[in-house]
């Protein structure tokens, strides 16, 4: 059984549906800083935040990924908490949610105009020896890749010269996004000249995005706090730094998809060879395999580890929530026929009851489905697959019956 989301006007519900099905490219604010796999829709995140919260309310994302929810919450004058086990996700979200001062932005703007000149294959570069020894140069050590290896080293050195941790992180993110363009999942090999141009264009776009975020935040007066935690969402309700946290008004997230292959922690270089380069560029360490980031091996019978983990994480979310908290999730399935019912069972076991939008009563199964936009070229070649459809699920914390109503129910059952 389910209940309806009865506290939203038809107009607000229609806006949510339209935002969920919006297929426009991810853009605006700081969303273009990095193409995180399976990126959450900022249009929908913004619509959900505006539908279910007021300025000053708390928004939680327990699977923060590329930080979309937190950026939109910050831009809308909401307090935000994001959680992810990936140090790369933590880095990206931190940079995207940093509100830079005007002086910092002027420094970055000047830097953006000369970053391309930092790449010169005729000049020496400084190898990142520690990362090289740990294998992070994988697929950059091939003779055909030495130019890109040098270009990345020189670009990182230019970011470090910015002089402060905040500015260096921004610079590294510019290198990260540009190297991703040059190396990750390309059907045609990039050139060094193209990389130089991309560095300059990316830096310029990112400065403009950071300015727009600063402007949006200032429109709401006082800047709300943003907390980013690198840890599992399981046990989050016992996290010491959240001891005094009030209940979130909204939880909006896109967790790992059950049974769907997504590389959150690797790039695919030269014929989709996996490389840990993004961690090196971000100055982070990673030693985990795919199942660590997807909450379980997709080949495990019945996806037991996945469903155990999602039950654990959402149980912690339910423990942090109150009965006014709305939980919104966007998720896809490799086999929706059996995985969606199993997912809903996990939510029920977590203490969450499903809700549906009344305006969708005549649609499909009454839930909000959408086609995934912006799929990679090699995924798009396969056409429509189960994993190319996402569903938006709405939940609230289960209300425990009072002793009197429980007694009435017990007598009725007898």
Domains of the chain as residue ranges with CATH: 3-99+223-261+298-408 (3.40.50.150), 102-215 (no CATH)
| pLDDT tens readout for residues 162-186 | 999 999 999 999 999 999 999 998 8
Backbone angles phi and psi of 227, in degrees to 5: -115, 130
- Residue 102 has a CB neighbour count (10 Å cut-off) of 9
CA nearest neighbour of 119 among 176, 201, 189, 192: 192
CA atoms within 13 A on the CB side of 148: 27
Taking 50 as the threshold, does the pLDDT of residue 198 lie above it? Answer: yes
Q: Map residue 351 onto helix, strand or coil.
A: coil
Tell which phi-psi region holds residue 271, choosing left (phi > 0), alpha (psi between -120 and 50) or beta: left
Any idea what DSSP says for residue 319?
A: H
Residue 156 makes CB contacts below 8 A (sequence gap 6+) with 128, 172, 175, 281
CA nearest neighbour of 88 among 61, 60, 66: 66
Do residues 179 and 281 lie in contact, with contact meaning Cβ atoms separated by under 8 Å? yes
CB-count exposure of residue 163 (10 Å: 0-12, 13-18, 19+): exposed
CA nearest neighbour of 193 among 141, 116, 300: 116
Taking each helix axis as running N to C, give the angle between helix 42-52 and helix 10-20, from 0 to 180 degrees, rounded to the nearest 10. Answer: 160
Do residues 65 and 40 lie in contact, with contact meaning Cβ atoms separated by under 8 Å? yes
CB-count exposure of residue 115 (10 Å: 0-12, 13-18, 19+): buried
User: pLDDT-based confidence at 373, cuts 50/70/90?
Assistant: low
CB-count exposure of residue 201 (10 Å: 0-12, 13-18, 19+): middle
Taking 50 as the threshold, does the pLDDT of residue 279 lie above it? Answer: yes
For 277-305, b/e burial (b = at least 16 CB within 10 A) is bbbbbbbbebeeebbebbbbebeeeebeb
User: pLDDT-based confidence at 1, cuts 50/70/90?
Assistant: low
β-pairing verdict for 267-269 and 273-275: antiparallel
Residue 73 makes CB contacts below 8 A (sequence gap 6+) with 49, 59, 79, 80, 224, 226
| pLDDT tens readout for residues 200-251 | 999 999 999 999 999 999 998 888 899 999 999 999 999 999 989 999 999 9
Rounded Cα distance, 288 and 279, in Å: 12
Helices (H) and strands (E) in the chain, counts: 15, 11
Residue 164 makes CB contacts below 8 A (sequence gap 6+) with none
Task: Calculate mean pLDDT across residues 59-84.
Answer: 96
pLDDT of residue 249: 97
Do residues 75 and 216 lie in contact, with contact meaning Cβ atoms separated by under 8 Å? yes
Share of the chain above pLDDT 70, in %: 92
Which ranges of 129-273 does DSSP label H, i.e. alpha helix?
129-133, 146-160, 165-183, 192-219
Share of the chain above pLDDT 90, in %: 70
- 173 or 296: which carries more pLDDT confidence? 173
Q: Average pLDDT over the chain, rounded to whole?
A: 89
E strand map for 284-349: 326-332
β-strand partners of 397 = 352
CB-count exposure of residue 403 (10 Å: 0-12, 13-18, 19+): exposed
Q: Map residue 156 onto helix, strand or coil.
A: helix
Rounded Cα distance, 354 and 189, in Å: 47
Q: Quote the pTM value.
A: 0.90
């Amino acid at each position: 059984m389910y209940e309806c989301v009865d506290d939203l006007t038809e107009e607000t519900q229609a806006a949510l549906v339209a935002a969920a099905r919006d297929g426009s490219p991810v853009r605006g604010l700081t969303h273009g800083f990095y193409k995180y796999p399976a990126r959450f829709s900022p249009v929908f995140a913004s619509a959900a935040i505006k539908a279910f919260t007021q300025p000053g309310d708390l928004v939680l994302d327990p699977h923060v990924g590329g930080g979309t929810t937190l950026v939109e919450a910050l831009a809308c004058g909401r307090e935000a908490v994001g959680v992810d086990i990936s140090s790369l996700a933590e880095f990206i979200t931190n940079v995207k949610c940093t509100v830079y001062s005007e002086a910092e932005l002027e420094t970055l703007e000047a830097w953006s105009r000369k970053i391309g000149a930092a790449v010169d294959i005729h000049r020496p570069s400084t190898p990142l020896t520690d990362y090289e020894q740990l294998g992070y140069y994988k697929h950059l050590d091939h003779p055909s890749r030495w130019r890109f290896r040098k270009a990345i080293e020189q670009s990182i050195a230019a970011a470090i010269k910015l002089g402060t941790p905040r500015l260096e992180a921004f610079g590294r993110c510019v290198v990260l996004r540009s190297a991703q363009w040059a190396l990750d999942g390309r059907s045609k090999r990039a050139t060094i000249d193209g990389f130089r141009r991309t560095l300059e264009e990316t830096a310029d776009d990112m400065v403009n995005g950071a300015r727009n975020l600063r402007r949006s935040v200032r429109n709401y007066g006082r800047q709300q706090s943003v907390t980013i935690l690198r840890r599992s969402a399981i046990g989050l309700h016992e996290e010491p730094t959240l001891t005094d946290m009030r209940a979130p008004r909204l939880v909006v997230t896109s967790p790992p998809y059950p049974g769907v292959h997504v590389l959150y922690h690797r790039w695919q270089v030269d014929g989709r060879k996996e490389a840990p380069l993004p961690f090196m560029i971000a100055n982070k360490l990673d030693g985990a395999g795919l199942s660590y980031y997807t909450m379980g091996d997709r080949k495990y019978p019945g996806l037991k580890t996945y469903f155990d983990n999602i039950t654990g994480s959402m149980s912690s979310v339910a423990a942090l929530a109150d009965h006014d908290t709305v939980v919104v999730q966007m998720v896809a399935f490799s086999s929706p026929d059996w995985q969606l019912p199993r997912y809903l069972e996990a939510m029920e076991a977590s203490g969450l009851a499903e809700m549906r939008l009344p305006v969708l009563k005549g649609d499909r199964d009454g839930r909000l489905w959408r086609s995934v936009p912006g799929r990679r070229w090699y995924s798009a070649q396969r056409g429509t697959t189960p994993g190319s459809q996402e569903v938006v699920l709405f939940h609230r914390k289960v209300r425990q019956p009072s002793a009197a109503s429980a007694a009435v129910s017990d007598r009725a059952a007898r």
